[in-house]
């Protein structure tokens, strides 16, 4: 029998390691960008760099505080009235009490594909959303397992983690794009020619360009790795909550057999769902670029196989 407490602890530790790699990567890129800007502008970039920093901070703040409204709007989700969705509300309320968190707001997406997600910056501002396919095609135990998985994301502050990861990817892309454009469309300043001449200058520029191209790719790989780790944690926490691993395992098994893509999902929100909603997409190096771990592996772990 798998030790679910150890599973949660192990995956949380790995998430911290991945975030450390994230910050090192972006820090290295930012330092190299400062060096290149100094060569090209002779130090006259402080004003623009400050504006860039302010815009980045604003982007992070808006993403953090409005994440629930942004995601539900993008997904076409509608709030579920209690009079129309009594069974769903009862399950969410029961599990919220069991997990010791406030009952989140409940939304639905009108789509026959089977999927669900949670969003919000903390348990007090959380949202759980399920597709109508979950409500019509899953039995009560299976639906309970899915809801428990999503509440685990809320309880473990996974949405805050993934929001931060998404913001960091965005920052990496912005820095990389800015640096590439600056290198190709600018000339070194007269004061910097002596510092940036010869083979040293060429090496710095080549390294800067390579890193600027690779950083967004590597950053997304780290983001996806964090997302995959958090799914294992949420699976383990859901079992701890329901004491019924078969409920979630059989729900994932049903989802794995569902070939219908979720129309409202896109690459920006795919990592939030309990299973990859973008069915039928073939990815190069799938294990590195997938937002979710292999669903069959998750089922085997839940069943202790």
Task: Kindly state whether residue 269 falls inside one of the protein's structural domains.
Answer: yes
Catalytic residue among 150, 231, 246, 263: 150
Q: Specify the pLDDT at position 187.
A: 61
- CA angle at residue 132 from 120 to 243, to 5 degrees? 65
Q: 150 catalytic, yes or no?
A: yes
Count of Cβ atoms closer than 10 Å to residue 155 Cβ:
22
Q: Which of 82, 271, 73, 4 has the alpha carbon at shortest distance from 164?
A: 271
Task: Kindly state whether residue 294 falls inside one of the protein's structural domains.
Answer: yes
Task: Kindly state whether residue 142 falls inside one of the protein's structural domains.
Answer: no
Higher pLDDT, 131 or 2: 131
Burial 112-121 (b: 16+ CB within 10 A, else e): ebbbbbbbbb
3 state DSSP class of 292? coil
Give 193-218 pLDDT, tens digit per residue: 444 455 766 776 677 677 767 766 76
Share of the chain above pLDDT 90, in %: 31
Strand partners of residue 130: 108, 116
Higher pLDDT, 138 or 40: 138
Task: Kindly state whether residue 291 falls inside one of the protein's structural domains.
Answer: yes
Domain total in the chain = 1
For residue 169, give its domain range.
4-72+157-302
3 state DSSP class of 129? strand
pLDDT at 245 over 90: yes
pLDDT at 67 over 90: no
Cβ-defined contacts of 40-46 (< 8 Å, 24+):
40/182, 40/183, 40/186, 40/187, 40/188, 40/189, 40/192, 40/196, 41/186, 41/189, 41/192, 42/189, 42/190, 42/191, 42/192, 44/189
Task: Kindly state whether residue 284 falls inside one of the protein's structural domains.
Answer: yes
pLDDT at 283 over 50: no
Task: Kindly state whether residue 289 falls inside one of the protein's structural domains.
Answer: yes
Q: Specify the pLDDT at position 247.
A: 95
Task: Kindly state whether residue 103 falls inside one of the protein's structural domains.
Answer: no
Task: Kindly state whether residue 94 falls inside one of the protein's structural domains.
Answer: no
Pairwise CA distance, residues 238 & 286, whole Å: 26
């Amino acid at each position: 029998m798998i030790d679910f407490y150890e599973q949660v602890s192990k995956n949380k530790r790995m998430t911290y390691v991945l975030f450390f790699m994230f910050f090192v990567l972006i820090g290295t890129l930012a330092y190299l960008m400062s060096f290149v800007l100094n060569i090209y502008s002779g130090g006259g970039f402080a004003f623009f760099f400050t504006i860039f920093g302010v815009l980045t901070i604003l982007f992070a703040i808006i993403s953090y505080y409005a994440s629930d409204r942004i995601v539900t709007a993008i997904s076409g989700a509608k709030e579920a009235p209690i009079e129309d969705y009594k069974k769903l509300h009862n399950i969410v309320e029961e599990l919220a009490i069991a997990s010791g968190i406030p009952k989140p707001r409940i939304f639905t997406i009108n789509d026959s594909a089977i999927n669900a997600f949670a969003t919000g910056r903390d348990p007090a501002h959380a949202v759980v959303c399920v597709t109508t396919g979950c409500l019509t095609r899953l039995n009560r135990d299976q639906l309970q397992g899915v809801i428990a998985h999503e509440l685990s994301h809320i309880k473990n502050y996974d949405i805050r983690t993934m929001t931060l990861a998404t913001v960091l990817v965005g920052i990496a892309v912005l820095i990389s794009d800015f640096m590439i454009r600056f290198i190709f469309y600018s000339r070194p300043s007269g004061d910097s020619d002596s510092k940036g001449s010869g083979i040293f200058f060429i090496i710095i520029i080549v390294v800067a360009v390579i890193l600027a191209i690779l950083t967004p790719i590597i950053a997304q790989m780290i983001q996806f790795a964090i997302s995959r780790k958090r799914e294992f944690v949420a699976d383990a926490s859901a079992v701890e909550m329901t004491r019924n691993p078969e409920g979630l395992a059989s729900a994932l098994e049903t989802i794995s057999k569902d070939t219908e893509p979720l129309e409202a999902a896109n690459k920006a929100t795919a990592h939030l769902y309990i299973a990859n909603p973008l069915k039928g997409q073939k990815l190069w190096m799938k294990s590195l670029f997938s937002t979710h771990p292999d669903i069959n592996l998750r089922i085997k772990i839940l069943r202790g196989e």
